[in-house]
Amino acid sequence: MDVTTHSATRRPTRQIHVGSVAVGGDAPISVQSMTITKTADVEGTLQQIYALAAAGCDIVRCTCNEIEAAEGLAQIVPRSPIPVIADIHHQYKMALAALEAGVHGLRLNPGNIRRPEHIKSVASEARDRGVPIRIGVNAGSLDPALYDKYGGPTPEAMVESAQQEMAYFDEVGFDLIKISVKASSVPLMVEAYRQLSAVTDHPLHLGVTEAGPPPAGLVKATAGIATLLMEGIGDTIRYSLTADPVEEARAGRQLLEALGLRERKNVDLIACPSCGRAEIDVIDVAKRAMDAFGEREIPLQVAVMGCVVNGPGEAREADIGIAAGNKRGHLFVKGRNVAVVPESEMVEALVDWAEFIHEHGVEAALTRVDTTLAEREAARDRSALLDAKGADANHATERIVEIRKTVSDT
């Protein structure tokens, strides 16, 4: 299956580096998240960073709101498996302290660090150290003067906030910049990024701020981020969820894989929504399969289908799948039946075969068993199910007669 195609050419941007991670240009779109620990808790913060990295996070942000946090960063940065960005609000000296701690990037909010001399002081120090800064505009914390000028948090106000900050940076010759214009309103966020992308070629960091807890938060964040990515806008993303940040990283990674913007890292599990034909509890089997695969790095598409009537056809392009029939599962690889297993062993069989395919390839898997026998068993179950449901379960023949009669009468 070709998962590399998407609807729009990616917008050309400059490229910067956050530590070892390239952002912008032709670099892969990166996934970010933020720790929720106190940064002064070095071990706890590192434990969370490692969990984020394992879930697919490329860059992590930690708050730096006090001297103890800056001191914690000095110990965290050299031990972190991924680049660390310091999140700064209100106190520009915390940005200077974070730079001294060795962070790989800064996030500044132009809505609450407004004095030009403070902004330029931080930019000058970052310039000398070669450390990038994200201009993190937020609809909820704009400069009051911009609220007054535009009558509220409009896309135009957000873009102007970013441009004002860039002008200060330009005065000191600093251009290692990425920008975000986040809002909790999806339409506002989308339009702000569209307008921003039209006036700058700096890389853009996408996100719907304060999206809330899943599942609603996932829907909101995906609506905004995916819309822009499919228009070719965006170079790095963050889901802002009221949840364990590992969920943010996992969601970001899954979105990029689903859009064909990053190579698949873990299992892509597809499953039917279940229906009256289902011979098993599809929801339960799919959940158990997801739990069984967990964080295993097996970049295959795995299908779980509730019956053997349409299952193999609907998931024909999957690397491996299982379709239930007559209280047993028909295992298929690339549309070819390879085994029949008891219902109780379906998930275990999926994992076993997926691991084998990942290690040895599809052809080796197909020569592993007598596919002719498995296909014969699958055909028998499909026939039995059709007989049980009836070849004309919807009484189509009678309906067609009535349809023709209705049309001829009119």
* Average pLDDT over all residues of the chain: 89
Q: Which range among 227-231, 248-252, 316-320, 353-357 shows the weakest confidence by mean pLDDT?
A: 316-320
Together in a domain, 285 and 321: yes
pLDDT at 1: 37
Sign of torsion, CA 98 35 263 265?
positive
pLDDT at 352: 93
Together in a domain, 131 and 215: yes
SS3 (DSSP) at 307: coil
Together in a domain, 171 and 294: no
CA 331 from centre of chain: 29
Residue 410 counted as domain residue: no
E-strand spans in 109-172?
A: 133-138
- Mean pLDDT (whole number) for 109-132: 96
Residue 402 counted as domain residue: no
Residue type for position 3: V
Highest mean pLDDT among 1-5, 75-79, 339-343: 75-79
Q: How many domains does the chain have?
A: 2
Distance between CA atoms of residues 232 and 126, nearest Å = 29
- Mean pLDDT (whole number) for 81-107: 98
Structure tokens at 333: 């690889």
Residue 405 counted as domain residue: no
From the list 331, 347, 354, the residue with the least C-alpha distance to 289 is 347
- Mean pLDDT (whole number) for 91-106: 98
Work out the pLDDT band at 91, boundaries 50, 70, 90.
Answer: very high
pLDDT at 283: 86
Question: What are the angstrom distances between the C-alpha of 347 and each of 48, 268, 292, 330, 344?
Answer: 30, 15, 8, 12, 8
Q: Answer yes or no: are the C-beta atoms of 6 and 259 closer than 8 Å.
A: yes
Q: CATH code at 110?
A: 3.20.20.20
Distance between CA atoms of residues 374 and 197, nearest Å = 54
Structure tokens at 278: 């289902």
Q: Examine the pLDDT at 5 and tell me if it is beyond 50.
A: no
Together in a domain, 61 and 189: yes
Together in a domain, 273 and 338: yes
DSSP element (H, E) containing 253? helix 245-258
Together in a domain, 49 and 91: yes
Q: In degrees rounded to 5, what are phi and psi of residue 100?
A: -65, -30
Together in a domain, 71 and 209: yes
Structure tokens at 91: 């106190």
Question: What are the angstrom distances between the C-alpha of 166 and each of 162, 170, 171, 356?
Answer: 6, 6, 9, 53
Distance between CA atoms of residues 256 and 262, nearest Å = 5
Beta bridge partners of 106: 86, 133
pLDDT at 3: 42
Residue 7 counted as domain residue: no
pLDDT at 7: 54
Question: What are the angstrom distances between the C-alpha of 385 and each of 39, 115, 201, 309, 375?
Answer: 59, 73, 58, 8, 15
More confident residue, 403 or 373: 403
Find where tokens 């986040």 sit: 182
Residue 236 counted as domain residue: yes
More confident residue, 98 or 5: 98
pLDDT at 282: 82
Q: CATH code at 384?
A: 3.30.413.10
- Mean pLDDT (whole number) for 376-394: 57
Distance between CA atoms of residues 113 and 91, nearest Å = 7
- Mean pLDDT (whole number) for 402-408: 80
Residue 335 counted as domain residue: yes
Q: In degrees rounded to 5, what are phi and psi of residue 319?
A: -65, -40
Q: Answer yes or no: are the C-beta atoms of 178 and 21 closer than 8 Å.
A: no
Together in a domain, 351 and 224: no
pLDDT, one tens digit per residue, over 165-203 is: 999 999 999 999 999 999 999 999 999 999 999 999 999
Q: Which of 208, 238, 258 is the last residue of a domain?
A: 258
Q: Which of 231, 258, 285 is the last residue of a domain?
A: 258
Together in a domain, 172 and 306: no
Q: Examine the pLDDT at 309 and tell me if it is beyond 70.
A: no
Distance between CA atoms of residues 71 and 93, nearest Å = 13
Find where tokens 């909101």 sit: 220
CA 22 from centre of chain: 18
Q: Examine the pLDDT at 4 and tell me if it is beyond 80.
A: no
pLDDT at 389: 52
Q: Say what percent of the chain tops pLDDT 70.
A: 88
- Mean pLDDT (whole number) for 398-410: 77
Residue 399 counted as domain residue: no
Q: What is the DSSP letter of 204?
A: B
Q: How many CB atoms lie within 10 A of CB 346?
A: 22
Together in a domain, 106 and 234: yes
pLDDT at 146: 96
Q: Answer yes or no: are the C-beta atoms of 213 and 221 closer than 8 Å.
A: no
Sign of torsion, CA 137 134 200 208?
negative
pLDDT at 385: 52
SS3 (DSSP) at 287: helix
CA 24 from centre of chain: 17
Q: Examine the pLDDT at 337 and tell me if it is beyond 80.
A: yes
Residue 406 counted as domain residue: no
The structure's pTM equals 0.84
Together in a domain, 336 and 234: no
Q: Examine the pLDDT at 304 and tell me if it is beyond 70.
A: yes
Work out the pLDDT band at 216, boundaries 50, 70, 90.
Answer: very high
Q: Which of 198, 225, 258 is the last residue of a domain?
A: 258
Together in a domain, 209 and 234: yes
Q: What is the DSSP letter of 345?
A: G
Distance between CA atoms of residues 375 and 171, nearest Å = 71
Long-range contacts of 380-383 (CB under 8 A, 24+ apart): 381/308, 381/325, 381/326, 381/328, 381/330, 382/308, 382/309, 382/325
Q: Examine the pLDDT at 88 and tell me if it is beyond 90.
A: yes
Structural domain span for residue 301:
268-389
pLDDT at 275: 74
Q: Examine the pLDDT at 394 and tell me if it is beyond 70.
A: no
Q: Which range among 160-164, 275-279, 314-318, 372-376 shows the weakest confidence by mean pLDDT?
A: 372-376
pLDDT at 274: 72
pLDDT at 382: 57
Distance between CA atoms of residues 315 and 332, nearest Å = 9
